[in-house]
Structure 1
Amino acid sequence: MAFITLTPENVMSEHLCCAIADKKHQTGVNDKRNWLAERIKEGHVFRKLDAQGKVFIEYAPLEKAWVPVTGDNYFYIYCLWVSGSYKGKGYGKELLQSCIDDAKAQGKSGICLLSSKKKKPFLSEKKFMLKYGFKVVDTINDEYELLALSFDGTQPQFTSNVRKQSIEGKELTIYYGVQCPYIPNCIEQIYNYCENNQIPLRLVEIDTLEKAKQLPCIFNNWAVFYNGKFETVHLLNEGLLKKLLLR
């Protein structure tokens, strides 16, 4: 099967494979399209299999990536996802290789991404990336890791603010973007649950590159604090929120 790279001409019509035929996520899909339309102008790449499946890679120049990571002349991979019946067919390898080839063709210094010591949902799998030469170049709390494939020996790193992993407020606080189509529905579920149960909630939309670079924690498009402490980058629905609040 062929791969399709989204462009300003097709971003509003092509199928966004990370939210398939689920009505509750259509608001998120529309938000994602609009966000992508602006980011593509900055060099952001969304490449997917030409199929109705979750098979894609999404990356951007690190200087323009909405994450608190710094480095010169790198690509940052937000997401590399192959799911369901498409697994085991080499699509992940092809997509990653296309990113590596793109980086070399543009004279980049390397590629980096957020991962973790132990496998976590919504993060690229460390084991897979190590096979292709990626190495751990920075860590947070011996849990979250910045992986990089360097072509020239230079290395990116988390910004100094990331190491705080804490904020002053004690209420449930969520930093979020609209890059992921699942986020608006998660926000709706969390807002409704907190409203109905008198749980203090602070929602902070990260709607500029500058805000993203200054965040006090790791962030791919979502970050949760509770009692002033960073908890997770895992998207929360009502069920997962209940478990978090009971800990």
Structure 2
Amino acid sequence: MNDFIQLTEENLEEEHICCIIRSRSKHPGIQSKKEWLSWQLKHGHVFYKLNQKGCCFIEYAPLEYSWVPVTGENYLYIYCLWVNSPFKKQGYGKQLMEHCISQAKEEGYSGICMLGSKKQKNWLSNQSFAKSFGFQVVDTTCDGYELLAYSLDGRIPSFSKSVTQKIEEKELTIYYSDQCPFIDQKIKQIQSYCDSHLIPYHLIHVTSLEMAKNLPCVFNNFGAFYNQKFITVNLLDEKSIQRIIENES
């Protein structure tokens, strides 16, 4: 029978973090993620995973310490719940969500929240799955992003007032943090593609909790603007940048 394990300051270096597993060479995204986690774990951040090699985990933290532009009292925020093959359809997703809900109830939290969208995004946890547990939409943006919450006492969180989904800059502008291990590679791809195609761009590294709480867009770990308008929370590659430039020009 498979069991679960939680990352701690003591086991962080030796344990894998599910998304990218390397047995020999060190991956720069993993190193950035673990450095980010080493600070977050001190503030109640939870990375709870199946004790197997593969992608089956949930990651959440007290909202007050979550690097997202969401405000609320006494909430937990789910960054990611991800179950990939060969662990799908075995009840692990349910167990991971129930672990988070149990902690919220046992420790007296007002509820749990997470980022969603009217149209499911590739880099967001499945909101239909969350709604099956009782999560409801409690806030929305003008372009279809949603804040989902599972309230235990009637209190609800909201997007920060800074979330307008607009900026003054017209060039491709990307906000990113080190929370996701895929970001390091994606940022390098974006730089290379934009430089080689003479596309103006602006990369903004989110390096503090205060900065994250006051971002102009919805955000888990990545947010892209073009022509002053918010485009997506999905991590970009060469094809998606090309499509954005063509569609928005």
TM, length-normalised to structure 1: 0.97
Q: Secondary structure at the match of 1:86?
A: coil
Look up the equivalent residue of 1:185 and give its one-letter code.
Q
- For residues 180 and 218 of structure 2, what CA distance do their matches in structure 1 show? 16
Gap runs ≥5 in structure 1: none
- The alpha-carbon deviation at position 69 of structure 1 amounts to 0.2
Cα offset for 1:243? Answer: 1.5
Q: Determine helix, strand or coil for the equivalent of 1:107.
A: coil
TM-score, normalization: structure 2?
A: 0.96
Q: Distance in 2 between matches of 1:151 and 1:182?
A: 33
Name 1:129's counterpart in structure 2. Answer: 130
User: Partner of 1:169: helix, strand, or coil?
Assistant: coil
- Which residue of 1 is the match for residue 183 of structure 2? 183
| Structure 1 residues 44-193: aligned runs within 5 Å | 44-141=45-142, 143-162=144-163, 164-193=164-193
1-structure distance, mates of 2:58, 2:26: 20
The DSSP-based 3-state class of the residue aligned with 1:41 is: helix
Q: Please give the alpha-carbon distance, in whole angstroms, between the structure 1 residues aligned to 2:24 and 2:172.
A: 28
2:79 aligned counterpart, secondary structure: strand
Mapped partners of 2:25, 2:200: distance in 1:
25
Displacement of 1:209 in angstroms is 0.2
**Equivalent residue letter for 1:11:** L
Per the TM alignment, residue 221 of structure 1 is displaced from its structure 2 partner at its CA by: 0.4
Structure 2 match to 1:207 = 207
SS in 1 for 2:113: strand
Structure 2 portions without partners, runs of 5+: none
Amino acid at match of 2:17: L
Q: Which residue of 1 aligns with 2:31?
A: 30
Q: Shift of residue 24 of structure 1?
A: 9.6
Name the aligned partner's letter for residue 240 of structure 1. Answer: S
SS in structure 1 of the partner of residue 43 of structure 2: coil
Q: Deviations over 1:82-111 (max 9, x none)?
A: 011211000000000000111111110000
Runs of 4+ more than 6 Å apart: 22-25
Q: Quick check: 1:25–1:185 contact (8 Å CA) kept in 2?
A: no
Q: Distance in 1 between matches of 2:126 and 2:231?
A: 20
Matched residue type, 1:93: K
Tell me by how many angstroms 1:239 deviates: 2.0
Return the letter of the residue paired with 2:203: L
User: What displacement does 1:132 show?
Assistant: 0.5
Aligned-residue CA RMSD (Å): 1.4
Query: Cα 1:226–1:46, aligned 2, differ >3 Å: closer, same or farther?
Result: same
Counterpart in 2 of 1:222?
222
Partner of 2:139, secondary structure, is strand
Superimposed CA distance per residue, residues 35-72 of structure 1 (whole angstroms, 9 cap, x where no aligned partner): 00110000000011111111000000000000000000
Q: Aligned pair count?
A: 246
